[in-house]
Amino acid sequence: MIEDGYAQFIDRTDSPPFIEELSRLAVNIKGLTNAPGKHGQLSLQGVIGTTGAVELKGEVAPLGESLFVDLEGELRDFAIPTTNPYTNRLLAWTAKDGRLATKVHFRIDGDKLDVKSEIVVGRLDVVQAGEGDEARKRIGLPLGLIIALMKDIRGEIRVNVPVSGSLSAPEFSLSEAIWTAVRDVIVNVLTAPFQLIGRLFTKDDKIEGISIDPVRFEPGSGIITPAMDQQLRRVADFLRNSPFVRLALSPVVSAADITSLKTQEVTARIQRLQREQKLADLATAAGRLFRQRFPDQAMPKSVEDIVVALREVEPTPEESGRALASRRLEVTREALIKTAGIEANRLQPTEAPAPLGAGGEGRMEFSIIP
């Protein structure tokens, strides 16, 4: 029964699981009328489960020619796992833990909907429960990764989600309006930090990919340059501000690295021949090595040209290439762990090493682990 005054509802039969936990719900309604321009007053208080509490108050006019609702409310300490039957069906994810608090202002004036909400989610821990992932479909990233990226240093997610639209518009869908608002908020929140370390790629308002700028090395080198040290500092800042994110590290040995390693090997062989045969200078040793390898070819004019000729027939230095990749991985991890203070378990080397001789510069690539 709804009339002026107070009503209490305890009947929870045939209700969804999390609604079944809604008890001790008190509703106070005053002044309901169909008189033009007159609004009734509504207030609601209730308990959800053992810790959750909900409050709602404002003005309503459901009986007039034009619907009017203007309510402000607050939900505190709502246990998110109680909604698992629905999140599993709708999102293919369930929550192992998590608490939700939100302040909302909900307004309908005729057919105009305007909702503003401040949402705080704490201790959220989710697992994928099915093959589908509505969040990936709607936003572009798996829900688990979105949550990890959105959490702050306190482990909380804090967002403002506005929803608006015309209820009478043929194309209006409340579900679509909510997903659009959530997607816009997530893209806006994530764009800023990735602008510092790389780029967030979007298409049709969805996230297509995340790119973190690599740390680049001079050919054949495992030394981090001052410019690349700055990039590592930015990556470290990102990880500190996103403490639930892990990175995969992939060292890449490029074609330029292979050329440099071959040059180093040929040069070392010339120097070794000079020492072993006690030759007067490096040019004599280079000429002798060239003649051994190319007995019928004309002698190049300089040591540099000899090195180039010998390098061209040098096999790919598999062992030194792998050693270079390991060196780059080691110095990168050391810079992030020992210097920047990032936890070692958040930096995972990729299991399969990249093929030697890749295009571009020698580098350390980063990717976010889902």
| 212 located within any domain | no
Mean model confidence pLDDT for the chain:
90
Mean pLDDT over residues 338-360, rounded? Answer: 92
Domain boundary residue, one of 195, 226, 256 = 195
| 275 located within any domain | yes
**How confident is the model at residue 8, as a pLDDT?**
45
Q: How confident is the model at residue 48 (pLDDT cuts 50, 70, 90)?
A: confident
Q: Are residues 21 and 52 in the same domain?
A: yes
Mean pLDDT over residues 358-370, rounded? Answer: 93
| 210 located within any domain | no
Q: Are residues 141 and 233 in the same domain?
A: no
**How confident is the model at residue 174, as a pLDDT?**
85
**Residue 267 in contact with residue 307, Cβ under 8 Å?**
yes
Q: How confident is the model at residue 10 (pLDDT cuts 50, 70, 90)?
A: very low
Q: Are residues 84 and 157 in the same domain?
A: yes
Q: Are residues 46 and 98 in the same domain?
A: yes
Q: Are residues 230 and 114 in the same domain?
A: no
pTM, full prediction: 0.83
Q: Give the structural domain span for 71.
A: 5-195
Q: What percent of the chain has pLDDT over 90?
A: 75
66 versus 213: which is more confidently predicted?
A: 213
Whether residue 144 has pLDDT greater than 70: yes
Helix (H, G, I), strand (E, B) or coil at 177: helix
Q: Are residues 160 and 273 in the same domain?
A: no
Q: Are residues 25 and 172 in the same domain?
A: yes
Q: How confident is the model at residue 32 (pLDDT cuts 50, 70, 90)?
A: confident
**How confident is the model at residue 17, as a pLDDT?**
53
**How confident is the model at residue 365, as a pLDDT?**
97
| 201 located within any domain | no
Q: Are residues 180 and 322 in the same domain?
A: no
| 97 located within any domain | yes
Q: How confident is the model at residue 171 (pLDDT cuts 50, 70, 90)?
A: confident
For 62-92, list the strands marked E by DSSP.
68-79
Residue 220: which of 266, 282, 283 has the closest Cα?
266
Q: Are residues 168 and 36 in the same domain?
A: yes
| 211 located within any domain | no
**Residue 215 in contact with residue 363, Cβ under 8 Å?**
yes
Mean pLDDT over residues 171-194, rounded? Answer: 91
Could you report the per-residue pLDDT of 74-84, keeping only the tens digit for each? 999 999 998 89
| 206 located within any domain | no
CATH code at 295?
3.30.1330
Q: Are residues 188 and 234 in the same domain?
A: no
Mean pLDDT over residues 255-276, rounded? Answer: 96
CA triplet 175, 181, 186: central angle to 5 degrees?
125
Q: Are residues 256 and 186 in the same domain?
A: no
CA 242, CA 239: separation in Å to the nearest integer? Answer: 5
Q: How many domains does the chain have?
A: 2
Mean pLDDT over residues 314-328, rounded? Answer: 96
User: 329-347 in b/e burial notation, b at 16+ Cβ within 10 A?
Assistant: bebbbebbbeeeebeeebb
Whether residue 3 has pLDDT greater than 50: no
**How confident is the model at residue 13, as a pLDDT?**
41
| 270 located within any domain | yes
**How confident is the model at residue 322, as a pLDDT?**
96
**Residue 54 in contact with residue 45, Cβ under 8 Å?**
yes
Q: Which DSSP string do the residues of 317-343 spell out, in sequence order?
A: -HHHHHHHHHHHHHHHHHIIIIIT---
Q: Are residues 255 and 142 in the same domain?
A: no
